[in-house]
Amino acid sequence: MYVRLVSAVVSASAVVFSLGACSAGDEAATPTTVTATEKVTRVTETETVTATESPTEAPTESPEETQVTREKKSVSSGGSGSAARMPNVVCMNLQAAQDKIQEAGVFYSRSKDASGQGRMQVLDRNWIVVAQTPDPGTPISEGDAVLSVVKNDEPNSC
C-alpha cells in the first residue's frame, strides 16, 4: 500500500513537471497541487458454527441443525446468575480494593481524587480508599463502583 502511494505521488509529480515544461517561457506558470488518495476497506469477520445432531438410530427425518453464536459476557459472582455485590473497601489501599471488587465479579471500577485536585492514580498501591459509591452490599455491574481516594501519607478518616 505504501509503495502504491509513493508511485502515485511520483507519477503525479512527473505529470506536473511535464505540464510545467510545456508552458510559455515568459508567462508565470500556475502552481498545480495534486493529491493522491487511496481507499482503505476494513473487513470484519464473523464466525458462525453449525452443529449437527448425530442420532444413534437411523434417522427418519433430516438432521436437526443448531446455530451457535459466541458472545463475551461478564462474569458475576454467585454462579447462579446473581448480581455482584459491592464489598466494603473503605480504608483499604486502592489496589487491594480493586482486587476485592474483581473477586466479587466486576472487573471495571473507577477511582477519583478525594482531595479535589483531580490527580490521576498511577500507582494504585500509593492511594487509600476514604469513601465508596455505592454502599457495601449494593448490586453492581461494570463501572458502577467509584472509589474516592487520597495518597497514603495525606490526612484521612482511616
Q: What is the dihedral of CA 16, 20, 21, 23, to 10 degrees?
A: 140
Q: In percent, how much of the chain has pLDDT > 70?
A: 48
Q: Is residue 62 part of a domain?
A: no
Element (H, E) at 112: strand 110-113
Work out the burial of residue 84: count CB atoms within 10 Å of its CB; fewer than 13 is exposed, 13-18 middle, 19 or more buried. buried
The string of pLDDT tens digits covering residues 51-76 is 656 556 555 555 555 555 444 444 44
Residue 43 CA to residue 150 CA, distance in Å, equals 46
**pTM strictly above 0.75:** no
Q: Is residue 145 part of a domain?
A: yes
Please tell me the total count of domains within the chain.
Answer: 2
List CB contacts of 54: < 8 A, sequence separation 6 or more.
Answer: 63
Q: Is residue 130 part of a domain?
A: yes
> Residue 146: which CATH number?
3.30.10.20
C-alpha cell at 101: 471488587
Q: Is residue 27 part of a domain?
A: no
Per the structure, the complete domain to which residue 130 belongs is given by: 84-151
